[in-house]
Amino acid sequence: MKRLWTIIGVRDVAGSFHWYQSLLGLPRTSPAHTYFGQILDSDGTVLLCLHEWGGHDHPSLTSPVHATPGNGLLLFFRVDDFNAAVARARTLVTRFEEEPNLNPNTETQEFSLRDPDGYYVTINAMPAD
């Protein structure tokens, strides 16, 4: 099995950590470090890693000033509790980038919003079996 660990640069690891946990309906925990945290699914799968800007010498994570956060990146999460995710998301942002709608490509419901660092996040319903 192969897994991808997507890592994004953030200003406030703890704040973004709790934001993503709230969005995805995960139990509230704290990141392992002030500069790095992993958002984990209930089975321990890493869903997203959050890394403090400039926390280490990673060339692509030195500063959001050198590159616009999210340029060329779409964080796309598939969830099994879509309606609950919509309700949770409405408590986290004042507006959606894209209101809930049927995606003609996946034939499932989705919506999009921006995270606290400006990353574009899409939540998509798991297809019905």
Which domains are present in the chain? 7-125 (3.10.180.10)
- Within a 13 Å sphere around the CA of 57, how many CA atoms are in the beta-carbon half? 0
pLDDT tens column, 64-100: 776 666 666 789 999 999 999 999 999 999 999 999 9
Residues 8, 117 contacting (CB under 8 angstroms): yes
pLDDT of residue 129: 66
What pLDDT does residue 73 have? 79
Mean pLDDT of the chain: 89
List CB contacts of 122: < 8 A, sequence separation 6 or more.
74, 75, 76, 77, 98, 110, 111, 112
- Distance (Å) of CA 5 to CA 2, 8, 40, 51: 10, 10, 11, 12
Q: Which is higher by pLDDT, 69 or 119?
A: 119
Tokens of 127: 């297809």
Amino acid at 31: P
